[in-house]
Amino acid sequence: MRLALFAATALSLALAVGAQAKPGPATPEQVAEAALRAAPVFDGHNDVPEQLRDRRKDVLGDFDFTDTSGTADPAKGVAAMQTDLKRMRKGHVGAQFWSVYVSANLPEPQAVQATLEQIDLTKRLVARYPADLQLCTDSACIEAAWKKGRIASLMGMEGGHSIGGSLGVLRQMHALGARYMTLTHFKNTAWADSATDAPVHDGLTPFGKDVVREMQRLGILVDLAHVSEKTMLDTLAIAGAPVIVSHSNAYALNPHPRNVTDRALDAIKANGGIVMVNFYPPYVLDAARLWGAERDAVEARFKALNRGDPEKAKAALADWDKANPMPRGSVKDVADHLDYIARRIGADHVGLGGDLDGIEVAVTGLEDAATYPALFVELARRGWSQQDLQKLASGNLIRVLKASEAYTAAHAGDPPLESPTTF
């Protein structure tokens, strides 16, 4: 009896100790940290190359990408850059699509040259930091870079003007390492309608559809950021491989023309693609979109009232800006877009495309490349699982990239699409 009592007491004690030793539920911070350690951020759109073109005319010289926090020039109204190696490491960024964007206002032959220069610049920047950055063109390279502790660096063209209406130029951009192309920027091309220009093609022209087909044959991801809804739907109707939307948000939460409608979201799900959310307040926050419209009207009024004196009009607008700052929103507003998209089409179809260094200001709490973890903590608070956070971080974009590679491999025997030259 004594032995039985002793055994029962010992068992009770062991159970009590075990209960005390059992860890409690993971905190949102712990869930976010675990997800980011397992799957580093693969961001779909960063404009550091544009900053280097605007600030330094593509001359790296003594530029130090280790820490760019001191690059502000208040006298010229230039803010500090939002990205550097130090902050990318802090933000758990493990892969980045660097945008080799050039202005859509350039004549197309100049746009082609400028894009070549931006590809060259990006390669020179990556080569300068071999311990931190690794140039990649496929998913296998990305995964190899992670094993070496390096940030995989890929290149995406932003706007079809970068190929000058030529499938031959498109093929050469692929040969140089470009792995996505946004079909338009803020203006229409001769073959695709933009979201922020008056439509002239009703989406894609026949040549535009050939551009999409040739991109997918080559293994260049089709990017539907910046394009009209009809261009999105035309593309998705013919796409054989998943597409991306590299830096846009949900139209249902903020009806900016740059955002993705429910109809397009549903088609992206059927295609297997992903929407990568943007951190720019006018795309995130309806109040910021409305502020922008009001500012445009105020600017037009000041110019009309001060004809012949543009400096006075500029000073008046600067005073208005000080008195009427843009509503910036917060991490929670970006999380709302991710929640909406994930609820509508699934957590397999979301990603991140912060647009850092392509925007003058980001939402509060996501100001630079160090701040991604704050968004993951917010999503973990809302009940996102570690698995879904890992998909958001990089799993979904890696899946899309591998699907694109598989499609290209399956069509390796297809001949290049041909089109006549125009001059």
How would residue 169 be classed by pLDDT, with cut points 50, 70 and 90? very high
Model pTM score: 0.93
Tell me what the mean pLDDT of segment 183-205 comes to: 98
Q: Would you state the pLDDT for residue 15? A: 40
- CA distances in angstroms from 70 to 106, 121, 370, listed in the order given: 31, 21, 15
The answer on pLDDT for 21 being more than 50 is no
348 and 390 in contact (C-beta within 8 Å)?
no
Q: Would you state the pLDDT for residue 76? A: 85
The answer on pLDDT for 13 being more than 60 is no
According to DSSP, the β-strands at 221-223 and 350-352 are: unpaired
Chain mean pLDDT for the chain: 94
How would residue 203 be classed by pLDDT, with cut points 50, 70 and 90? very high
Tell me what the mean pLDDT of segment 311-333 comes to: 97
According to DSSP, the β-strands at 93-99 and 41-46 are: parallel
Q: Which residues pair with 334 in a beta bridge?
A: none
Tell me what the mean pLDDT of segment 363-377 comes to: 98
Tell me what the mean pLDDT of segment 336-359 comes to: 98
How would residue 267 be classed by pLDDT, with cut points 50, 70 and 90? very high
265 and 275 in contact (C-beta within 8 Å)?
yes
Both structure tokens of 171: 């093929």
Distance, CA of 102 to CA of 96 (rounded, Å): 18
How would residue 5 be classed by pLDDT, with cut points 50, 70 and 90? very low
CB atoms within 10 A of CB 72: 13
80-111 tens-digit pLDDT? 999 999 999 999 999 999 999 999 999 999 99
Q: Would you state the pLDDT for residue 24? A: 62
304 and 247 in contact (C-beta within 8 Å)?
no
Tell me what the mean pLDDT of segment 184-194 comes to: 98
Helix axes 262-271, 229-238, angle to 10 degrees: 20
How would residue 23 be classed by pLDDT, with cut points 50, 70 and 90? low
How would residue 53 be classed by pLDDT, with cut points 50, 70 and 90? very high
Over pLDDT 70: what percentage of the chain?
94
Q: Would you state the pLDDT for residue 423? A: 85
151-163 tens-digit pLDDT? 999 999 999 999 9
Burial class (CB in 10 A: 0-12, 13-18, 19+), 175: exposed
Q: Would you state the pLDDT for residue 153? A: 98
List active site positions. Answer: 45, 47, 158, 185, 226, 247, 355
Provide the CATH topology of domain 25-280+328-410.
TIM Barrel (3.20.20)
The answer on pLDDT for 16 being more than 90 is no
The answer on pLDDT for 11 being more than 70 is no
Helix axes 108-128, 167-175, angle to 10 degrees: 10
Q: Would you state the pLDDT for residue 2? A: 36
Both structure tokens of 307: 């004809």
The answer on pLDDT for 77 being more than 90 is no
The answer on pLDDT for 333 being more than 60 is yes
Burial class (CB in 10 A: 0-12, 13-18, 19+), 292: middle
120 vs 14, more confident:
120
The answer on pLDDT for 270 being more than 70 is yes
